[in-house]
Amino acid sequence: MGNKEYGIELFFKALADRTRLRVIHLMGDDEVCVCFFVEVLKTNQPKISRHLAYLRRAGLVSARREGKWMHYRLVEPPDQQAANIFREVRDLLAQNQEMRRDRARLAKICCAPQLPVQLQKAPRPASLVA
């Protein structure tokens, strides 16, 4: 792949898990709070955090803290060929029915006039705010 320092094995392992693929697709071009992943994927926060940490180690997401909220966004891999593969994977995910249902659920939760109690003060993804 050209850049010997880039961890291509870690990159492919990061893409080899269904939950991580779902998280990648949910982020899309947004910055998303962990709490929304928990709500949409119906799993617990420690599990989601482990998957996000794996994606961070692979160089596919970055994180930022705002108070008690952790926000994650996708970043392009530093290796050009890996970046091309990552774009193709994201395009493929956009065509998958399960991924579309996840994204629709995120939009429904984010756009609801009243968020679930655990999300009431969570910042909503920018592209989903009306």
| Average pLDDT over all residues of the chain | 86
The CATH number of the domain holding residue 101 is: 1.10.10.10
- How many domains is the chain built from? 1
In a domain, 130, yes or no: no
Q: What does the block give as tokens for 104?
A: 């629709």
In a domain, 28, yes or no: yes
DSSP strand pairing (61-66 vs 32-33):
unpaired
Residue type, 64: R
Which pLDDT score, from 0 to 100, does residue 70 have? 87
In a domain, 42, yes or no: yes
Q: What does the block give as tokens for 70?
A: 């952790």
In a domain, 86, yes or no: yes
Residue numbers of the domain that contains 12: 8-111
In a domain, 2, yes or no: no
In a domain, 21, yes or no: yes
pTM for the model: 0.83
Per residue in 25-40, pLDDT tens? 999 998 998 888 998 9
